[in-house]
Amino acid sequence: MSLWFWVLLACAVAYATKLLGYLVPRRWMQNERMTRIAGTVTIGLLASLTAVNAVASGQALTFDARIGSLVAAAAALVLRAPFLVVVLVGAAAAAGLRLLGWG
Amino acid sequence: MSIAIATGLYGISFGALGVASGLSVLQTVALSLLMFTGGSQFAFIGVLGGGGSAAAATAAAALLGIRNAVYGMQLNAMFGPRGWRRFAAAQITIDESTATASGQTDRREQRRGFWTAGLGVFVLWNVFTAVGAFAGNALGDPKQWGLDGAAVAAFLGLLWPRLKGREPVAIAVVCALATVLAVPFLPPGIPILVAALVAAVLGWVSHARAESGRLLAVEGLEPDVDPYSQRGRDRGARVGSPEAGPGGADASATGSAGTGPGEDGPPHDAGPVRGPEEGAS
């Protein structure tokens, strides 16, 4: 039940953020520093989420089949594969490595 | 059409990963219906899947949603929806709808593009999330199918289009390192927020440096849409008149600016709506 609370809260915050864009006076949005920070934070969060999902298991750092996914996904992206292909390649790499008995 | 397919497939992967992260089918579906912004939704289940608390998941989702406020400003300047429409427009303010609107020059076309793309993606995204959630539920052990590896690939895929130039890459590397270093010492989920803080500080500092003479706009660093596209890229114009023109003028300028909104798409930050194939956010 408490997970539901956070799910709904996160949704409410997301909507409020969107609506805020329509409600703030124009000159507020001309703050270049804030727009720039919005950009760097997006990059930082995505990089962080990639790292956490690749090597963290709770509070431990582990190197398992997910590293294979990371490498395979990067290769797919270098080859300009579309997003879904990248995700499938990532899944296949982890599943395949586990099938071979690693991770 | 390609947007529809991309959205559908991306929705399926979100649904499956959502259930794998520990959410119920109903909670996964609720995220797509109510939150409806792919980057934040993936962040939410990413933190949960990594063992993080729901509070940390909420914070990460909220931070990743900030760019939608910038989109809202942009759209408001473009065709300014009024009354109840404004509240409906807010919900479908995402990468795809903003990108589609920005691709038009005529105000009426902008409005039409926004609503068509926004509502279309909304329907598809939700239908396919449900499909993915039920399928994920039936799969059994998510690890056997490599779904945890799929999450890694998904985040890298969202990040990739933003890594244009040296500065975004440096920020990404520093934040990833900070995360890894923090993992053993902090509760799960918190290292992600540490990285967000590091990124904000880097943005603050680099802005100060840029202000002191260097070119301000760096590819990939800016949010996908410039609320006022005249700024930044052309310092001269900024001095002259900060508001080069409401609506139309802005939109066309945005379309031609390198950092188009198409580069990433929310619900799916995944696909560029129009334009370069680099997109997936």
Q: What is the mean pLDDT of residues B62-71?
A: 86
Q: Annotate B44-60 with DSSP letters as a single string.
A: HHHHHHTT--HHHHHHH
Q: What tens digit of pLDDT does each residue of B192-201 get?
A: 889 999 999 9
Q: B210: distance to nearest CA of chain A, Å?
A: 10
| Most confident segment among B114-123, B212-221, B237-246, B256-265 | B114-123
Alpha-carbon distance of A38 to A46, in angstroms, equals 12
Q: What is the reported pLDDT for A26?
A: 67
Helix, strand and coil percent figures for chain A, each rounded to 5: 80, 5, 15
Token reading at B192: 């992600």
Instruction: Judge whether B247 is closer than 8 Å to chain A, CB to CB.
Output: no
Tell me which chain B residues have a C-beta less than 8 angstroms from the C-beta of A98. 143-144, 146
Taking the mean position of all CA atoms in its chain, how far away is CA B109?
A: 23
CB B93 within 8 A of CB B72: yes
pTM over 0.95: no
Q: What is the mean pLDDT of residues B196-216?
A: 79
For residue A28, give every residue at least 6 positions away whose Cβ sits within 8 Å of its Cβ, in sequence order, or none: none
Q: What is the reported pLDDT for B105?
A: 81
Q: B217: distance to nearest CA of chain A, Å?
A: 9
The pLDDT confidence band at residue B142, using thresholds 50, 70 and 90, is confident
Q: What is the reported pLDDT for B1?
A: 52
Position A68, amino acid: G
Q: What tens digit of pLDDT does each residue of B79-112 get?
A: 888 889 999 999 999 878 887 887 788 889 999 9
Q: What is the reported pLDDT for B130?
A: 96
Q: Judge: A35–B150 Cβ closer than 8 Å, yes or no.
A: no
Of A43, A55, A69, the CB nearest to B149: A69
Q: What is the reported pLDDT for B140?
A: 75
- Which bin fits A101, alpha (ψ -120 to 50), beta or left (φ > 0)? left
Q: Looking at the predicted structure, is the pLDDT value of residue A7 above 90?
A: yes
A and B: number of Cβ contacts within 8 A: 356
Buried b (16+ CB within 10 A) or exposed e, B66-97: bbbbbbbbbbbbbbebeeeebeebbbbbbbbb
Q: Judge: A48–B90 Cβ closer than 8 Å, yes or no.
A: no
Token reading at A16: 């409020």
Q: A62: distance to nearest CA of chain B, Å?
A: 11
Higher-pLDDT residue of A1 and B151 is: B151
Q: What is the reported pLDDT for A32?
A: 78
**Percentage, residues of chain B above pLDDT 70:** 73
Alpha helices in B212-247 (DSSP H): 235-240
Q: What tens digit of pLDDT does each residue of A47-78 get?
A: 998 999 899 888 899 999 999 999 999 999 99
Q: B10: distance to nearest CA of chain A, Å?
A: 6
Alpha-carbon distance of A29 to B50, in angstroms, equals 35
Of B34, B143, B228, the CB nearest to A30: B228
Q: B259: helix, coil or strand?
A: coil
Tell me which chain A residues have a C-beta less than 8 angstroms from the C-beta of B159. 43, 46-47, 50
The pLDDT confidence band at residue B77, using thresholds 50, 70 and 90, is confident
Of A17, A77, A94, the CB nearest to B146: A94
Alpha helices in B65-188 (DSSP H): 66-79, 84-91, 95-102, 107-139, 147-159, 166-182
Give which of B76, B126, B152, B185 to mutate to test A binding, by max A Cβ within 10 Å: B152
Q: What is the reported pLDDT for B133?
A: 94
Tell me which chain A residues have a C-beta less than 8 angstroms from the C-beta of B226. 35
Token reading at B222: 């800016």
Tell me which chain A residues have a C-beta less than 8 angstroms from the C-beta of B185. 59
Within 10 angstroms of residue B195's Cβ, the number of other Cβ atoms is 32
Residue A61 backbone dihedrals phi, psi, to 5 degrees: -100, 125
Q: Judge: A53–B64 Cβ closer than 8 Å, yes or no.
A: no
Alpha-carbon distance of B146 to A71, in angstroms, equals 14
Of A39, A70, A92, the CB nearest to B152: A70
Q: Judge: A45–B60 Cβ closer than 8 Å, yes or no.
A: yes
Domain residue spans of chain B? 2-163
